[in-house]
Structure formats: structure tokens, C-alpha cells
Amino acid sequence: IMEIKNPYLTELNKIGKSEIGYISFLQGKSDEIPFEIKRVFWTYFTPESVIRGGHAHKTTIQAIIAVSGTIIFDIQGQKEYKEIFTLDSPNKLLIIPTLYWSDIKFSHNAVLLCLASEDYDELEYIRDYNEFKNLAL
């Protein structure tokens, strides 16, 4: 796994034309995904009034695509890092390294697809914001 210093947004290739539609893809080891994918999950039917996320990960790196709709990530680091990323096209890919706090807002009918570097483990989640901010760097 390569070291990722900060979250970043990248664009995936898209093939096609506006008249017939597009396809974007990821395969095996790629330049876009800086880790081996161990878990894939998606969220959907999230009401626009709900803020999801509200956590950071100790060991998991995530690659996220809004396959439908618009998803806004408000991301904070342990120091002064703060950035907002808008996923509003299915060929945008957001990479979130470990130890970044995310709050997530969904548009109506948005679908979030997450490719994760680790299997699910509740113990590696940090769900308390104060604990997150007080972690030793």
C-alpha cells in the first residue's frame, strides 16, 4: 500500500458519447486504487436530511464513487486539514486515507459505492469526534 498523505479527488476514464451513454471502470491493480480491495459496499435511499459518516478509520483506506446523484464529503484531519469534496459524476473517485473524519450528505436517490482496503472490523472505527481529535499523531 502506498502512503497517502491527504484525501484527494481523481477522475476515472469514461468511454462513450452523450448520445449513447458512458462506461467508467476499475480493474485489478490500477493507478486509481492505491490498495488491494478487500471489501465493497454501497449505501442508498439515504434521506437528504440525514448526515451519514460521522467517523474515521484507524486502518482502512477508502475509494468512493457516487454512482448516482450527488454526495458531499466534509472531511477533517487531526490537525488543521479541512476540505469539502463533491462527487457529482460517476467517473469521480475520492480517496480517503486512514485517520480522516468524514461527514457525508446525500442528494435524493444518491448511491455511494465504497471500495475498502480492509475487511469490516468495528474496532478500527473511531466514532467519537473528541477521541479522533485527541489521538496521538
CB 134 within 8 A of CB 88: no
Which helix (H) or strand (E) segment holds residue 79: the answer is none
Of 34, 25, 31, 29, nearest to 7 by C-alpha is 34
CB 77 within 8 A of CB 99: yes
Written as nine digits, the cell of 40 is: 465493497
* Residues marked as catalytic: 55
Q: Is 78 helix (H, G, I), strand (E, B) or coil?
A: coil
Q: Which residue blocks in the chain are alpha helix, DSSP H?
A: 129-134
Residue with cell 490500477: 30
β-pair partners for 94: 9, 64
